[in-house]
Homo-oligomer: A and B are copies of this chain.
Amino acid sequence: MEIITSIEKMQKLSLKFKREGKKLGFIPTMGCLHEGHLSLVDLLVVKSDILILSIFVNPTQFGEGEDLEQYPRTFEEDVEKSKARGVDIIFAPKADEMYEFGFSTQISESNISNRLCGKSRPDHFNGVVTVCTKLFNICQPDFVSLGQKDAQQVAVLKKLVNDLNIPLSIEVGEIIREHDGLAMSSRNTYLNHDERKDALVLSKALDLAKSLVDSGCNKTNEIKEELGKLFKSVSCARVDYVEIVDSETMEFQRKVLSENSLLMLAVWINKVRLIDNRLL
């Protein structure tokens, strides 16, 4: 396995592979790899001639006061895990090469991005789509895999790829959970012992919603009301949003469920913001 930090070197190599007719797989990450990321490696390792995983904590997708500085960096472990799972190249560019002095280009998606996490984190998705476009241009992937945990990010990036005619296909890996149900996330490392327990309220909420649906409830407001009660019962939990949306368009479903109803949660556990989701 090779580790590349130079943008120019990575891009030259990718273009060479493409000229040779090789199929390239790509997984964009911010490092601190867990089983969620590694399941995305598994998705692509078979079908890719070359599998590239990027590790880049992208400053432009963090807002003011967010956790850019404290975001966990575990490069050596990430390298070991990637190697063991079959990654061919780790691409780890430097921020000042990705964003040279005078950088002045931004991509924005103005529909799906404007709600849910996009409302709580203004400019977040602008940062995501801009850096991903750069990474796609550098790494030239045929396949990209993304985790369903960031469901809105998946929807936004699918829209980006479609609108800008980027020639790649996106594969979505299911949410990987700890044994007790907590969705894996690099931000789980911020939780202390008590918060870790309280954080289970997210996956419990997903289960509660599913059981309500199974017992015949199809009114979105009723489901949201029940979940509201559950979150209120956990003192350190503060809801950012609880919404039921169309899984592709992320449009709010205000009345009844449809086939594509996706329950989306963003909840603060004290100072740690966690997200989770489930098809209903």
Contact = CB atoms under 8 A, between A and B. Distances in A.
Contacts of A7: 165
Interface in A1-56: 7, 11, 15, 18-19, 21
Give the one of A109, A137, A162 with max B CB within 10 A.
A137
A137 B112 contact: no
A106 interface: yes
A129 B108 contact: no
Interface in A144-174: 159-160, 162-167
Interface of A: 7, 11, 15, 18-19, 21, 100, 102-112, 129-130, 133-134, 137-138, 140, 159-160, 162-167
A164 B100 CA distance: 11
A167 B104 contact: no
Contacts of A165: 7, 11, 134, 137-138
Contact of A129 (B21, B105, B167): B105
Contacts of A110: 104-106
A76 to B, nearest CB: 27
A56 to B, nearest CB: 13
Nearest to A19: B21
Contact of A164 (B19, B108, B109, B134): B134
A11 B133 CA distance: 18
A107 B109 contact: no
A129 B105 CA distance: 10
Closest 9 interchain pairs by CB? A105-B163, A104-B111, A137-B165, A19-B21, A104-B110, A105-B109, A107-B107, A138-B165, A134-B165
Given A18-B19, A165-B134, A167-B15, A105 B107 contact: yes
Given A137-B165, A138-B165, A165-B137, A106 B104 contact: no
A137 B111 contact: no
